[in-house]
Structure 1
């Protein structure tokens, strides 16, 4: 609302400047030289009505050009960038800002919780991030699939966690991140005996 009122005020100022400059650009014609009695009525009849108060040809466009050079440039309004994933970081602990403390792609079988911290940029009124955790040994078993809604007007961090109260099986794993159903990032990691 404030931006449109600001734009309206700016447009009003530019229009007022154009009208003022247009008025300043008017030039009265010099009074005609005295003519003989026989030619004066013919000259008056051939002149269009109100020609003495019209600006010379091109005066309006010259006034508009002067106003355009004086008027401040109006920056175009740009649409916010769409939401995108900037970075995926894995770790076994996060801080208060939900960021992984120490990034790693190798974990111990005794690590109870694993985190995937997803940094996003851009804005969205409502998007869905999903983290799909898979165990790649054998037939590639699904460990967990977690979705979170996100609404943001700038950079944000969304954290996903997967936990196992028992020991993790050793082997290769993968976490895949999708944004509104479209894959956008993935990272392989390993779990080994400590």
Structure 2
């Protein structure tokens, strides 16, 4: 599994995480869990959102997270799970 995410964002941007899988059978479940790790004005490690999908014939998937307001500055992470197993954690900053 290969993952791509930018390490830095501004407060008005949408967060994207591209997941590339190889040789995964159809019906593989992918889940992205977005967390505010250390963000101004928010308790630490607050779950923001999670999204789950089931693969078909594609091998590249994009998860995104957007906000109607500006994202508060701080540290965030997205965790990617495949069939319930944590595969990768990616950390990024909003400046």
Calculate the TM-score normalised by the size of structure 2. Answer: 0.89
2:94 equivalent to 1:179 = no
Write the mapping of 1:3-152 to structure 2, written as runs, cut at 5 A.
85=1, 87-90=2-5, 104-111=6-13, 113-137=14-38, 138-152=43-57
Which structure ranks higher in relative contact order (CA pairs < 8 Å, sequence separation ≥ 6)?
2
- List 4+ stretches of structure 1 deviating above 3 A: none
Q: How many residues align?
A: 91
What's the C-alpha RMSD, in Å, of the aligned pairs? Answer: 1.2
Deviations 1:43-69 (A, max 9, x none): xxxxxxxxxxxxxxxxxxxxxxxxxxx
Q: Give the number of the structure whose alpha-carbon radius of gyration is greater.
A: 1
How far does residue 156 in structure 1 lie from its aligned partner after superposition?
A: 1.1
Aligned equivalents of 1:167, 1:123: Cα separation in 2: 36
CA contact 1:123–1:151 (8 Å) conserved in 2:
no
Gaps of 5+ in 1: 1-84, 91-103
More strand by share: 2
Deviations 1:57-91 (A, max 9, x none): xxxxxxxxxxxxxxxxxxxxxxxxxxxx2x1112x
Aligned equivalents of 1:129, 1:116: Cα separation in 2: 12
